[in-house]
Chain A
Amino acid sequence: MKLIGRLSVCLVLATTAVASLACGDVGDKTVVISAGADGDIALPQLSSQTQSRVYAELLFDKLAEIGQSQNTVGDAGYVPHLAARWDWARDSMAITFHLDPRAKWHDGQALTARDVRFAFTVLTDPKTGSSAGVELARSVDSVSVADSLTATVWYKARSSEQFHAVAYNLFPLPEHLLGNIPHDSLKSSAFAKAPVGSGPFTFVAWEQKRRFEMAAFDHYLLGRPKIDRLVFAIAGSAPTAVRAVLAGDADFIERMQLEDVAEASRLPDITLWPLRRYDYGVVQFNLWTADGTAPHPLFGSASMRRALTMAVDRAALVRNVHDTLGRPGLGPFARLQWSADTTLRQIPFDVAESGRLLDALGWKLGPRGMRSKAGQPLAFTLSVSSSSRSRVRYAELLQQSFAAVGAAVTVNVTDMAGFVDQLMTHRFDAMVFGWTATPSPSGARQTWGSRAFIKGSPFNAGGWQNATFDAAVANALTAMDLKNARAHFRVAYQTAIDDAPAIWLYESLDPAAASRRLVTGEFRPDAWWATVRSWDVMGPSRRPGAGRTATP
């Protein structure tokens, strides 16, 4: 017995000694970013996964980059990247991009105008399967090459966001490496997992579901990044990814779980950054029955939707769930979008008025405080994905809010796949979920427009159809001056708020967490990774897992 005991003690001591002596130093200028999930490929505009987008946009560069102003009208605020400058045609039907002669691919080849044209051809080919390419093809007719450094983009029609459509979505691709790969094989090609790009970082290694590593590109045209290596550590789930930062395994995570914010703020070597985001959460009502042939018995009525909206004190709900890291939603947009309007008339929180409306609709209060009409109880299911703890919490609070006006709500929590299935097959009564908008308000057409209501599509899954909204958004997107466009958007947004296809619940300011050894500067709301090339590392070298000392 004693022998086993002694052996155990020796084993533990030896393990501890070896582990403490040899942890593996990650180096002074290496930054480890913790991520809950991995991507599938690392090519720009060819994957719907967020993490893939992060990889791709660090490895590939754009012609011009949207600035901190997040303006998408005209080219104001755009910063030259691969294109040193650009000229507009007199009739605005073409823009000529003059490439920076210093632009190079990571393999040393010069980046040319042919690569711009090649990327357009690849992305807009339906065989490639790029959603951004489909959007691009709607506005751009073709790309022509005048010489190796001059590419002209020819548009089908003028629009206020025509520059943004190209600058934001078109990443030049290396024709010399991809020219022989069939477009429908691009996503499954070896290049998609080990790409040669033009961005501030070069590809080093990818162990799927474990780590993605990049290194600073010495010849990046806007200057070499200040950090040497960038490693994404894939934790497998969001809570585990957060713990990696809290434990000192990683330097940065772009989104903290709200329940971990208090713990993070206690740690002296962690800084929390409330990020301006395009995320907004809604309660979407389904206006149709599951087979889509008849109006929903409850939510087919705008009065019912308005009555339920009045039952919800959104400000109180946001305080309860997000505390100061959220704001009540205002409409089918995020406050950061240039089209946002904070003066729009909202449906007020008014339980008494909500009750009167429901009474008028024939839903009478019963002895137990629940309403019914012709023997049918006022009851529905509120679906929510278990992937977001904050949205589950919103669903529980909403259940109480609706109960206060006599509506019995069953909260149905399902995993993400099951939730998305309900969304796409339109088999739900109401659901709590979130959208991530983009700087361009044109996404409103996609998420709330009548044409987006298609079986098998997640967009406008509630089937709200409103001609006034559609026309106002269309007018806004073709208006060439900002004032005019804003006026049209105001009409569109007010229509949506009044008709209440959804309860505009919250906008989140979920914070990022960074080690104090990182100097990050300001984050860009649409893409936190856009400024990584200017990050720097100050303070002591990090020995992972061994605990870090706080730096001043």
Chain B
Amino acid sequence: MLRFAAARARQTAIVAFVVTSLAFVLVHAAPGDPFATSLDENSNFAAARAEMRLRYALDLPLWQQYPMMLANFARGEFGTSFGEARPVSAVLTDVIPDTLLLMVPALLIGVLAGVAVGTWQGAHAGTWRDRATGAFALSVLSIPEFLLALIASLVFAVRLRWFPATGIFSAGAVHASWLDTVGDYLHHAALPVSVLALVISCVVARFQRAAVVDTLNEEFVRTARAKGAATRRVLVHHVLRRTGGSLFAVLGLLVPTLVGGAAMVEMVFGWPGAGATLVSAVGSRDYPLVIALVLVGSIAVCVGSAIADAAAVLANPAIRKEA
């Protein structure tokens, strides 16, 4: 296990380095000046811009900026956000928990629902209900998350007004108790979490269904049935245990998709998380913030995949033996 962890840590470090370097090159190659997106009638515009470039060492050639940035990152210094005029680390401290408030419930609900639906489909494979559910899942997956989120917002927030359209909490709300705070969060999270959870559950359900259909044909299941075990008992005690390994492998693959999808959902619902911040930082050419968020995202994907792989190994004795 230690060897596995060490290998994954090495892999994460390499991925983080490569991704950060790519982000550095791409963000600087994009046309646009970080201090020019907001115009006013400043007669001394060029001088003010030059002063800002000097302050943030952007006047140096890229080959000098790059090692400086790596050295700073190694010390845990991400620099100052141009757009927010405060340390990038402070921005990260604000936005990462908010993204987790969106992604963790979405992942939990999505996986639970996906496993339940996929298992049910597998147990009823070939019926019209299975085919209809599969078609629905495929339809959901064929719609971009951005559009799905927008439709949900327009229908349930704007048209029906069942849920708020933006934010994590009501702007200006005074919460009398923790229950108020939790309730306000749940009310705001309902739509974005549902959209993300729906997408996750559709992916998981498709994989789970296939795994269940395969497992139901295995000899140990037939044996269990021959012994007179009830269908529910067979599914819960035999089939779900076997499919756990492949499920975790799917989750490993889902992590990058989830990170990307969360960014789109955050944008639509004005959820002030890391994804929305990254999109806005790219638009305003906020180099330090973009690179730091890309770095954090790549680490999150690597760690998430590693955890999923480890869980897959632990859950499936066959894979454990191979490992």
Q: Is A246 an interface residue (CB 8 A)?
A: yes
Choose from A1, A458, A546 the contact partner of B232 (Cβ within 8 Å).
A1
Q: Are B45 and A456 in contact (CB under 8 A)?
A: yes
Q: What chain B residues lie within 8 Å of A11 (beta carbons)?
A: 109
With the chains together, A547 CA to B187 CA distance in Å? 12
Choose from A22, A126, A213, A237 the contact partner of B180 (Cβ within 8 Å).
A22
Q: What chain B residues lie within 8 Å of A547 (beta carbons)?
A: 161-162
Q: Are B158 and A417 in contact (CB under 8 A)?
A: no
Size range of the chain B interface in the assembly: 35 or more
Q: Are A240 and B269 in contact (CB under 8 A)?
A: yes
Interface bits B13-35 vs A (CB < 8 Å: 1, else 0): 00000000000000000111110
Q: Is A424 an interface residue (CB 8 A)?
A: yes
Q: Is A453 an interface residue (CB 8 A)?
A: no
Per DSSP, chain A at the interface is mixed
Q: Is B252 an interface residue (CB 8 A)?
A: no
Shortest CB-to-CB span from A57 to chain B, Å, is 14
In the complex, the chain B residue whose C-beta lies closest to that of A187 is B85
Q: A240-B268, A241-B270, A420-B32 are in contact. Are A457 and B46 (CB under 8 A)?
A: yes
**Interface positions of A from 215 to 239, Cβ below 8 Å from B:** 229, 231-237
Q: A25-B174, A26-B174, A417-B284 are in contact. Are A131 and B40 (CB under 8 A)?
A: yes
Q: Is B157 an interface residue (CB 8 A)?
A: yes
Q: Is A374 an interface residue (CB 8 A)?
A: no
Interface bits B177-193 vs A (CB < 8 Å: 1, else 0): 10111111011101000
Q: Are A236 and B280 in contact (CB under 8 A)?
A: yes
Q: Are B41 and A23 in contact (CB under 8 A)?
A: no
Choose from B41, B158, B169, B183 the contact partner of A443 (Cβ within 8 Å).
B41
Shortest CB-to-CB span from B244 to chain A, Å, is 14
**Interface positions of B from 232 to 290, Cβ below 8 Å from A:** 232, 235-236, 266-270, 272, 276-277, 280, 283-285
Interface bits A188-211 vs B (CB < 8 Å: 1, else 0): 100001000000000000011111
With the chains together, A241 CA to B113 CA distance in Å? 32
In the complex, the chain A residue whose C-beta lies closest to that of B36 is A420
Q: A32-B171, A135-B43, A248-B161 are in contact. Are A23 and B116 (CB under 8 A)?
A: no
Q: What chain A residues lie within 8 Å of B45 (beta carbons)?
A: 131, 456-459
In the complex, the chain B residue whose C-beta lies closest to that of A188 is B85
Q: What chain B residues lie within 8 Å of A235 (beta carbons)?
A: 166-167, 270
Q: A135-B43, A416-B37 are in contact. Are A237 and B270 (CB under 8 A)?
A: yes
Interface bits A1-35 vs B (CB < 8 Å: 1, else 0): 11011011001000100111111111100101010
Shortest CB-to-CB span from B223 to chain A, Å, is 21
Most buried by B among A49, A447, A545: A545
**Interface positions of B from 101 to 127, Cβ below 8 Å from A:** 109, 112-113, 115-116, 119-120, 123
Q: Is A274 an interface residue (CB 8 A)?
A: no
**Interface positions of A from 431 to 481, Cβ below 8 Å from B:** 438, 443, 446-447, 454-459
Q: Is A41 an interface residue (CB 8 A)?
A: yes
In the complex, the chain B residue whose C-beta lies closest to that of A427 is B31
Q: What chain A residues lie within 8 Å of B49 (beta carbons)?
A: 456
Question: 16 A-B residue contacts at CB 8 Å?
Answer: A4-B116, A19-B184, A19-B187, A22-B179, A23-B187, A24-B181, A24-B184, A48-B40, A48-B42, A129-B51, A135-B41, A209-B280, A210-B167, A243-B153, A422-B31, A447-B41
With the chains together, A34 CA to B158 CA distance in Å? 15
Q: Is A409 an interface residue (CB 8 A)?
A: no
Q: Is A249 an interface residue (CB 8 A)?
A: yes
Shortest CB-to-CB span from B230 to chain A, Å, is 12
Q: What chain A residues lie within 8 Å of B183 (beta carbons)?
A: 18-24
Most buried by A among B30, B86, B169, B187: B187
Q: Are A24 and B180 in contact (CB under 8 A)?
A: yes
In the complex, the chain B residue whose C-beta lies closest to that of A15 is B186
Most buried by A among B45, B181, B267, B280: B45
Q: Are A49 and B120 in contact (CB under 8 A)?
A: no
Q: Is B199 an interface residue (CB 8 A)?
A: no
Q: What chain A residues lie within 8 Å of B171 (beta carbons)?
A: 26, 32, 211, 231-233, 249-250, 544
Q: Is A291 an interface residue (CB 8 A)?
A: no
Q: Is A134 an interface residue (CB 8 A)?
A: yes
Q: Are A208 and B86 in contact (CB under 8 A)?
A: yes
Q: A18-B182, A134-B43, A545-B163 are in contact. Are A416 and B283 (CB under 8 A)?
A: yes
Q: A24-B184, A131-B44 are in contact. Are A19 and B36 (CB under 8 A)?
A: no
Shortest CB-to-CB span from B202 to chain A, Å, is 15
With the chains together, A263 CA to B183 CA distance in Å? 29
Shortest CB-to-CB span from A450 to chain B, Å, is 14
Q: Is B1 an interface residue (CB 8 A)?
A: no
Q: Are A8 and B113 in contact (CB under 8 A)?
A: yes
Q: Is B293 an interface residue (CB 8 A)?
A: no
Q: Is B211 an interface residue (CB 8 A)?
A: no
